[in-house]
Structure 1
Amino acid sequence: MTISPERLPPRLPLRLLVAAPRGFCAGVDRAITIVERALEIYGKPVYVRHEIVHNKYVVDALKEKGAVFVETLDDVPDDVPVVFSAHGVPKAVPDKAAERGLDYIDATCPLVSKVHRQAERQVQSGRHIVFIGHKGHPEVIGTFGQVPEGNMTLVETKEDAEQLSPRDPANLAFLTQTTLSVDDTKAIIAVLERRFPSIIGPRGEDICYATSNRQEAVKAIAAACDLMLVIGAPNSSNSLRLVEVAEREGIDAKLVQRGGDIDFAWLEGVGTLGLTAGASAPELLVREVVDRLAERFDVEEQVIESVKERMVFKLPRSLEAA
């Protein structure tokens, strides 16, 4: 039976504050373009070691174009190209690819590569590195793999920093994962600098511009919101940090991957909703979420821009030339 429009309940008003910047960063944009360009040059299949970025929609779209995602080089056949993900890989991975004669393209974000170079320099200077990051994250694994084993210690929390007992406290350096909570990281660094006054940090902040900007954009709208939706994958570090930032600003926050993930029960009593997206979530998913909300609400959408982003990273020379 079809319900006539007259009998449908009236749609409630919903003020929607959309954070800007949000979504794709320059490193993610570059990594996806690298896979697409490799498919154009080599034809399919092109193998990708690990998810190129942590977003199921993006990964599935590249699969449809001919990308094959694997976790180790052992899963890559001979004589096919392979792309390394934006999160970076240990040095042993390109070394093994070269030994096998594989054509490989490194899609590591240039800001992650910068941390890799800093790690090498600090170890060459004889310093032990305290690395602030999340255990098991691909970026952490990749960074640890840049230096000989035993030259780096992982710290995840202020408590870890308080309990740290290095062999040579006067000869330390610290580096950080690029997708951390800005506030948490500052607190951990403060502990390290208090306990080890001679510790050396990077010249510039390791947390990338996109991570910092997206967290600040959430803070800019949080006070006006009753609830925050964050579009991102559950294994996306920068997306999870956005949820945490919103919660620390005093509002509830929900992580969703697609519009269909929204539970309308969350929106009971919500007059103003905040919306943002992690750095690996495409704008198409933002529009999908807005369309989903419009099924139940009379949405008044307003974009709140806290800073403009103009960062662009070049492609690897081999792809640019091709």
Structure 2
Amino acid sequence: MSHISVARPSLTVLLASPRGFCAGVDRAILIVERAIGRYGAPVYVRHEIVHNRHVVERLKALGAIFVEELEECPPDRPVVFSAHGVPKAVPAEARARKMLFLDATCPLVSKVHVEAGRHFEAGREIVLIGHAGHPEVVGTMGQLPEGSVTLIETVEDAAAFTPKDAANLAFITQTTLSVDDTAEIVAALKARFPQIAAPHKEDICYATTNRQEAVKTVAERCDVLLVLGSANSSNSVRLAEVGRRAGTRAYLLDDASGLNLAWLEGVATVGVTAGASAPEMLVQGVLDRLAERFDLAIEEIDAARETVTFKLPKVLA
């Protein structure tokens, strides 16, 4: 009896570029790795270094211990502050306890901290556009005395906000927001408070902006978008939202094990991207899984070239 081979369905994969790690994430992970290399294990990390389950698990295996608060760290081991930034009280407490600490805050988050400080020194009331409870927001609000910064999450919040002095306002934003959503909130604030001071260059970082632009380009051509990233990663969640807003079905998955092939029933073209904290091996894992079922035609969609790099802290350089 002759063996009948069944033709595999073909699938076009549009790989969004840029995708995956940004310079701030690269630097933060390297700080933890170098610290373990230099000081031995364990090295403590306050909060997940970046919001990705795979990155955190790999660093745990190397000897990193993740905690939520400084009080959980012994005074005689190094502690690394996560890429999202920390309130001013945290390094102050570390100094008081004479701890060796390494700050892996992304320089683009630090830039927002500096900006907030300048507005405060100039006597302005500050509005922060961001997501309540996100560590970056907690860190940015924690740069200044309590009550100095008002958090605005939505256009509705912008409409309801009552400043002390409408002529003396400034806004800053979280670095990982949706570019389009933020533009709507900023427009609502500017309509109400035409004199509101804006950032010199927008606070949403280059990596967030570029990844969202790449998703828009891919979304025009695909039926389904797969976003590699963890559910607590702000920038990854935003990529899925941007895809949906652009008219495609978008799914956020931690890795290939979260891929449900039923999503691809009758689909000819699938887009694939990864959040700024998601390693490229996760993208490869999804491609391998797809290749088991389909004949793949892979196309890189280039949106922007990224050449940004950040220096390591002097003690680790």
**Superposed displacement of residue 225, structure 1:** 0.3
User: Normalising by structure 1, what TM-score?
Assistant: 0.97
Structure 2 residue corresponding to 1:82, chosen from 79, 100, 121: 79
**Counterpart check, 1:247 vs 2:244:** yes
Residues 7/44 of structure 1: CA separation in 2 closer, same or farther (3 Å cut): farther
In structure 1, what is the equivalent of residue 280 of structure 2?
A: 283
Letter in 2 for 1:195: R
In structure 1, what is the equivalent of residue 165 of structure 2?
A: 168
Letter in 1 for 2:312: L
Letter in 2 for 1:190: A
**Superposed displacement of residue 75, structure 1:** 0.8
Which ranges in structure 1 are unaligned for 5 or more consecutive residues? none
Residues 68/8 of structure 1: CA separation in 2 closer, same or farther (3 Å cut): farther
**Superposed displacement of residue 221, structure 1:** 1.3
Q: Percent identity?
A: 61
CA–CA distance in structure 1, aligned partners of residues 205 and 173 of structure 2? 10
- Map 1:242-321 to 2 at 5 A: 242-320=239-317
- Map 1:198-213 to 2 at 5 A: 198-213=195-210
**Superposed displacement of residue 10, structure 1:** 3.2
**Counterpart check, 1:68 vs 2:68:** no
User: Normalising by structure 2, what TM-score?
Assistant: 0.98
**Superposed displacement of residue 76, structure 1:** 0.4
**Superposed displacement of residue 162, structure 1:** 0.6
Letter in 1 for 2:221: A
**Counterpart check, 1:145 vs 2:142:** yes
CA–CA distance in structure 2, aligned partners of residues 149 and 251 of structure 1? 42
CA RMSD of aligned residues (A): 1.2
Residues 301/101 of structure 1: CA separation in 2 closer, same or farther (3 Å cut): same
Give secondary structure in 1 for the equivalent of 2:251.
strand
In structure 2, what is the equivalent of residue 58 of structure 1?
A: 55
**Counterpart check, 1:91 vs 2:84:** no
CA–CA distance in structure 2, aligned partners of residues 265 and 98 of structure 1? 54
CA–CA distance in structure 1, aligned partners of residues 67 and 6 of structure 2? 49
CA–CA distance in structure 2, aligned partners of residues 314 and 302 of structure 1? 33
In structure 2, what is the equivalent of residue 197 of structure 1?
A: 194
Which ranges in structure 2 are unaligned for 5 or more consecutive residues? none
CA–CA distance in structure 2, aligned partners of residues 253 and 221 of structure 1? 11
Give secondary structure in 2 for the equivalent of 1:118.
helix
CA–CA distance in structure 1, aligned partners of residues 262 and 211 of structure 2? 26
Letter in 2 for 1:48: V
Structure 1 residue corresponding to 2:100, chosen from 70, 78, 103: 103
**Superposed displacement of residue 18, structure 1:** 0.3
**Superposed displacement of residue 295, structure 1:** 1.1
Residues 6/118 of structure 1: CA separation in 2 closer, same or farther (3 Å cut): farther
Structure 2 residue corresponding to 1:44, chosen from 41, 45, 51: 41
In structure 1, what is the equivalent of residue 114 of structure 2?
A: 117
